[in-house]
Structure 1
Amino acid sequence: MDFRAIELSFLDWSGDALAIGLFEDAVELTGNLAQLDEKLAGTLKELIEESEFKGKDGSSAVTRVGTGSPIRKIIVVGLGKADALKLDSWRRAAAAAARLANKEKCKTLALALPVWHEAPDATAEAIVEGVELALYQDNRFKSETENKGLKLEQIDLLGLAGTEASITRAQQICAGVMLARQLVAAPANSVTPVTMAEAAQAIASEHGLEIEILEREACEELGMGAFLGVALASDLPPKFLHLTYKPEGTPRRKLAIVGKGLTFDSGGLNIKVAGSGVEMMKVDMAGAGATLGAAKAIALLKPDVEVHFISAVTENMISGHAMRPGDILTASNGKTIEINNTDAEGRLTLADALVFAEKLGVDAIVDLATLTGACIIALGDDIAGLWSPDDTVANQLLKASEMAGEKFWRMPLEEKYFEGLKSPLADMKNTGPRPGGSITAALFLKQFVKETPWVHLDIAGPVWTDKESGYNSVGATGFPVRTLVNWVLGDA
């Protein structure tokens, strides 16, 4: 798909579909809009009246223009109230317009949207992200696609000439999001620890990143008993992935992103039962998927920041070799863990990954994981939880997420809740009481980071959606690749 940033007015553009962005309760046709309506023989006014279009955020309408017009279809998209605008409003409006134009079998589309706070580059980037992500289709596992392929070939961003660099940047970020979507959406017989390692190797080879893949024996030498305890029952070998992006010259800062990588979670001997959503446990590697997606985007963007992308990848399966409830595992920092629930395995893999990350001497660590159902109960499907003892890095992530339109809510690290994790036999248990389950999970992880500023992201809810919304289609969302990229770039 070809994006063009041009200064041309919507009054002079010609092509298949023209999309106009309108604010809520401000859809009167004055000035250039009145001229456009006159040029279209009243079609724009008729569309607004007949569809009862009010400009509400997420709303849209389309109609055909009469013969002899330089455009074939006119589209209106709502931006919501002008005093409540966010950068994400542009993404959603662009997504709505692109979906309608594609559905109407248009090959060319012009987007006439106001500029965000007089920031043309941010506007262009948000628009391109909205279009790219909304039109993403994953037909890899279908024998027939019913001719539902992409119709749009060219999209013109009117009034945004000179923003070509921002368009390229948006496409590079979206390439990372789409990789994450593909990894998370694929079934567990397609994405395994072995194929995740191959995906990491492909990123390294294509973009010149350093890569280290630790096999079981190397993990044993490093004392990764928590990670390897989870891997015991799988017939597939565990893979510890470490990708490194290094800029030319001295890096401005050094960061680590650690993603949970359970390519399938059966629950282990505490097996997940029917109705528990076990068939969706392919998404338990969404943290690792987003980590690799961020690695791809960062490699394309080439910032002056050194970034380490880490994931301990395995399956949590059932066999005669499986870890048992009551077993005691020793992590690579010497901490001992009594297993009271084999279905709380992600935090065990993250424990050794966090210890590994801190030894790299980075300035900050962010881990991301589909860690707890408790976080979904607390925040729903659209909002991820954020925990950190460090206000500076926590605020950086929150600002980065606001720019990305990916929702997080900072949660408390209530230290007294760690009492629920204490074990009479070991340093800690791997789960605490049911109340505050997402908090005790964060407190568990905190035991494996000594001094480095650290943020934990519980992304269990937003990594998958069962309905089309905004610029997300049904399925994997690629959350939170764009937040991670914004944080690394330091744009927040």
Structure 2
Amino acid sequence: MEFRCIPASLSSSLGACDTVAIGLFASPQNGPEGSSGPSHEGGFEPLDPALAEALGAELEPWLRQRRFKAKPGECLSLQRLGQQPGSVILVGLGEAASYALSSLQEAAAAAARCALASGSVQLGLALPLAGLDPAEAAAAMAIAVRLSLYEDQRFKGEPQARPLPQRIDLIGLPAEASNGLARVEATCAGVELARQLVAAPPNVATPQHLADTAASIAQNHGLSLKVLERGDCEAAGMGAFLAVAQGSDLPPKFIHLTYTPQGGAQRRVVLVGKGLTFDSGGYNLKTGGSQIEMMKYDMGGSAAVLGAARAIGQLQPAGVEVHVIVASCENMISGGAVHPGDVVTTSKGKTIEINNTDAEGRLTLADALDYACGLEPDAVVDLATLTGACVIALGDEMAGLWSNSDGLAEALLKAGAAGGEALWRMPLRASYKKGLKSGVADLKNTGPRPGGSITAALFLQDFVTQGLPWAHLDIAGTVWSDKGRGLDPAGATGYGVRTLVEWVCRGASSGN
């Protein structure tokens, strides 16, 4: 799939593609001051006169007849027999006042899916910048097109061929906007890897499979790899991680990938991903309605950091050393599984009373975060499908962000916005930590139900070196989409890869 920035105007570029998608703004719900109706009959802003002339005077009446409102992502396809382009897609952008990079991505994704259905080979996207940075807009559109057309058919007995558009022209963008395309291929490949890992069934995506994936990334992109086996983890005192793993017949894998830039590093950062390849809940077994059959996606955090590692290895950003940590295992029931009420000792020496075996991810992350801090980094970011409470609070379109550093939090929010992944900063309210007090150990692994995502973050913070910039992303709601949304098809989304790649490539600085 080739992407090109075409500085020429839309009216002069119409004949270069077999399909052209044109973005239209919705009329404001309220017209000029003092009026109560829309500012333009039909629900969309008037077409540019040159465009209207090129496409024919009958286009606007046809759109009104079809009740086109230009809602975000709304599409209408017009077939033009014997003309070039043969297909014109009108795609809604919503109101201009709320137009943002995410709006542009949604429109590009919707147009791409519509073009795929029409059999387009050469697609032109004529979507307005409306004040957006041209390079960022080019990247956003290219990523949206590629990722929205992704389909995973690996486990189908008879995969169906889907001819994809081979060339996408980004019409009306200046030539320098092509600089924004430099990271598109690597970023999308990282997202697609994450999607494949999350979507794979748990009898395929085992801890060994994650270790093999890390080995492939290391070999193909020049990273170094260390995998700690059970005995190594025992020697390191990782009692919390091993407690979760002890109920499974599959051996745990503690994965450590390292990207080292040429010319030396001015900064060192660590990305930590929760790696539960299947979560039964343990003896606090997940019951009906708990989506136990979907607990293959409980390794969404590890998929995100491995996908980011793959992209970073290809992009080779200068000046930043990146470590990727995954403590991978299954949470299963057996005669040797951990009991509710057991007390375990972490590598940091803290003891934990396990009052709920279904709050296992934070146990694995406790030892992983302690290991990460031992690398003496400048910042640590962890990603985890950690709590249902975060899903209740924020839904499935944005992840929760907790951080002890305003600079790091702001940098991640900016990276998420640039990558098209929504984050919402949540409080680390210290007084809530009293809910983690244990009568027999240093702390319990769960607190009361109210504020459950906050107490989970506070639990993790206990295993981060004081003063070290750290952020926790709870991606439980965003890692999977039942029906698809934006540029994500139904199923695994690969959430987190774009944010991490943006953050690292922007300097991975806690203050920038």
Residue 159 of structure 1 corresponds to 172
Contact 1:47-1:63 within 8 A present in 2 as well: no
Residue 482 of structure 1 corresponds to 498
CA distance in 2, matches of 1:490, 1:2: 25
Change in 2 beyond 3 A, CA 1:306/1:373: same
Instruction: Indicate which of 327, 336, 358 corresponds to 2:373.
Output: 358
Higher mean C-alpha deviation, range 430-439 or range 47-56: 47-56
CA distance in 2, matches of 1:32, 1:246: 52
Instruction: Indicate which of 158, 182, 205 corresponds to 1:144.
Output: 158
Residue 323 of structure 2 corresponds to 308
Instruction: Indicate which of 336, 345, 349 corresponds to 2:364.
Output: 349
Could you list the per-position Cα deviations for residues 268-310 of structure 1 after superposition, in whole angstroms to 9, with x for gaps in the alignment?
1111112211000000000000010111111122112111111
2:465 is the alignment partner of 1:463: no
What does 1:321-332 align with in structure 2 at a 5 Å threshold? Answer: 321-332=336-347
* Cα distance, 1:46 vs structure 2: 4.6
* Cα distance, 1:488 vs structure 2: 1.2
Contact 1:388-1:455 within 8 A present in 2 as well: yes
Contact 1:43-1:65 within 8 A present in 2 as well: no
Letter in 1 for 2:25: F
2:239 is the alignment partner of 1:225: yes
Residue 21 of structure 1 corresponds to 23
Higher mean C-alpha deviation, range 45-54 or range 326-335: 45-54
CA distance in 2, matches of 1:482, 1:217: 35
Letter in 2 for 1:413: L
Q: Secondary structure, in 3 states, of the residue corresponding to 1:252?
A: strand
Unaligned runs of 5+ in 2: 28-43
Q: Secondary structure, in 3 states, of the residue corresponding to 1:223?
A: coil
CA distance in 2, matches of 1:478, 1:144: 25
Instruction: Indicate which of 448, 469, 485 corresponds to 1:433.
Output: 448
Change in 2 beyond 3 A, CA 1:326/1:30: closer
Residue 418 of structure 2 corresponds to 403
Change in 2 beyond 3 A, CA 1:118/1:355: closer
CA distance in 1, matches of 2:168, 2:374: 47
CA distance in 1, matches of 2:12, 2:447: 65
Contact 2:186-2:315 within 8 A present in 1 as well: yes
* Cα distance, 1:146 vs structure 2: 4.3
Query: RMSD over aligned Cα, in angstroms?
Result: 1.5
Pairs aligned (count):
487
* Cα distance, 1:50 vs structure 2: 2.9
Q: Secondary structure, in 3 states, of the residue corresponding to 1:18?
A: strand
Output the TM-score relative to the length of structure 2.
Answer: 0.92
CA distance in 2, matches of 1:51, 1:331: 63
* Cα distance, 1:453 vs structure 2: 0.9
Could you list the per-position Cα deviations for residues 49-81 of structure 1 after superposition, in whole angstroms to 9, with x for gaps in the alignment?
2322232211111110132x1211011111222
Residue 261 of structure 1 corresponds to 275
Contact 1:27-1:54 within 8 A present in 2 as well: no
Instruction: Indicate which of 349, 364, 384 corresponds to 2:399.
Output: 384
CA distance in 2, matches of 1:86, 1:449: 35
Change in 2 beyond 3 A, CA 1:43/1:62: farther
Letter in 2 for 1:3: F
Instruction: Indicate which of 110, 115, 130 corresponds to 2:124.
Output: 110
2:21 is the alignment partner of 1:3: no
Unaligned runs of 5+ in 1: none
* Cα distance, 1:151 vs structure 2: 3.3
Letter in 2 for 1:420: G
Contact 1:373-1:460 within 8 A present in 2 as well: yes
Letter in 2 for 1:12: S
Residue 251 of structure 1 corresponds to 265
Q: Secondary structure, in 3 states, of the residue corresponding to 2:251?
A: coil
Output the TM-score relative to the length of structure 1.
Answer: 0.96
2:46 is the alignment partner of 1:44: no
Higher mean C-alpha deviation, range 256-265 or range 450-459: 450-459
Instruction: Indicate which of 473, 485, 489 corresponds to 2:489.
Output: 473
* Cα distance, 1:43 vs structure 2: 5.3
Letter in 1 for 2:115: A
Q: Secondary structure, in 3 states, of the residue corresponding to 1:329?
A: strand
Residue 53 of structure 2 corresponds to 35
* Cα distance, 1:122 vs structure 2: 1.0
Higher mean C-alpha deviation, range 97-106 or range 24-33: 24-33
Contact 1:37-1:45 within 8 A present in 2 as well: no
